[in-house]
Structure 1
């Protein structure tokens, strides 16, 4: 099994990375975690993220020899616009999302999730709704981690050589937020108590698994990570 780390944009205000992840399993399944900001934003000014043309998820996957129809699963950590802006391209994949997140998004309960609704609600996309922690395939488990938004999910990948890796996504966006009791609550974290509970859950899991934690938007950490075309395996 291989895990590729794919920075596809930066947060315009801070320069923090906006990543997606590709998991290639030993039995030939290709799993994408998130789809990044809308590819149409690349090269445009005034957007919340910035990217150069050709930095979007479709272009990066092409450089790895993959086209959108090659992706078997898309694990949706959540429908924020920097995470769900290109779902419509992967119309051959099965999308995995927490049931309560899908329900909240479709009900319009979280206004920011509407920004990319034409992408994640594109006709014909196939969603599998999950209820809590779920093993997707052997070695890949989604971990419910609400707080940033209802039904956020993180991903635990058990790699044979590198060992377990926990993709925390926006549940713990940077290392400075790794202590549940004292972590900052960021402007887009909707539920403080749930955010702290999920932080504690994820860090306890990482300790139990002896997993490397990859934080969703930590510029300092990402400068030291092995990003594509290199991989963790």
Structure 2
């Protein structure tokens, strides 16, 4: 059975924010500096990229930053002077042109902001309900940090799913709605056996998983409803013997990044 040959984790920035964004009911005033994730998967035909980080223009331009990030409680942090995705790829020895497909877990600004690099170039996988919400023309999505400017480009070759679907050999998108209307997580089967379940924002932190704590940021559902996707991902991981990886954990992400780097070196 064909599977993923190599995994490279990318840190495309950080976000400084209240812990309550990740864990519903977290103590007021508790703040975290969470990594912004990207994942490269070497599949048949080339590299598949999961998530794309921030749109740097919305952060670096003073007027745009005031427009899109007016609340000082949330602070986006870029890792360097250039484009985070390009810099991270260069650090991994991979060219942007080596990426043959992209999938986004959801359309929040820290996950879909780099789609500008792929418009007119490669297919982009998304859940149909997520894209419909983002392009609805209603002001609500922007209030939830889904910025149409990041992805409203007619050149993007959308591949829209309705529920669970295999998007590449060894890579299955799993619908885990709640954080956003069409959030998806990813199950990755490795070529030599074993694998990972990448929760992304269905579970930001290890405690979301281990203690089954609801996430703090939701759209259209009660916070308690986000425990169901967590339990589903835990079941998939346990059934297959895979590791379940939270999306923004400030301890797990750098540790696993180094572990995978050493494994494939």
TM-score above 0.5, yes or no? yes
1:85 to 1:153, Cα distance in 2 relative to 1, 3 A = same
Determine whether 1:38 maps to 2:48: no
Paired with 1:232 and 1:140, the residues of 2 have a C-alpha distance of 20
Greater mean deviation of Cα atoms: 136-145 or 171-180:
171-180
Task: Within 5 Å, give how 1:8-23 maps onto structure 2.
Answer: 8-13=12-17, 14-23=32-41
Q: TM-score with structure 2 length normalisation?
A: 0.78
Partner of 2:253, secondary structure, is: helix
Determine whether 1:136 maps to 2:167: yes
In the TM superposition, residue 176 of structure 1 has moved relative to its aligned partner by: 0.5
User: What number of residue pairs does the alignment pair up?
Assistant: 230
Task: Within 5 Å, give how 1:165-176 maps onto structure 2.
Answer: 165-176=196-207
Q: Deviations over 1:171-200 (max 9, x none)?
A: 0111111157x51431x2232244121111
Q: TM-score with structure 1 length normalisation?
A: 0.88
Q: Which residue of the other structure, out of 61, 65, 73, is the alignment partner of 2:89?
A: 61
Higher alpha-carbon Rg: 2
Counterpart position of 2:76: 49
1:95 to 1:170, Cα distance in 2 relative to 1, 3 A = same
RMSD over aligned CA atoms reads 2.5
Counterpart position of 2:122: 93
Q: Which residue of the other structure, out of 73, 81, 84, is the alignment partner of 2:109?
A: 81
Structure 2, unmatched stretches of 5+, are: 18-31, 66-71
Structure 1, unmatched stretches of 5+, are: none
1:223 to 1:43, Cα distance in 2 relative to 1, 3 A = farther
Paired with 2:114 and 2:234, the residues of 1 have a C-alpha distance of 30
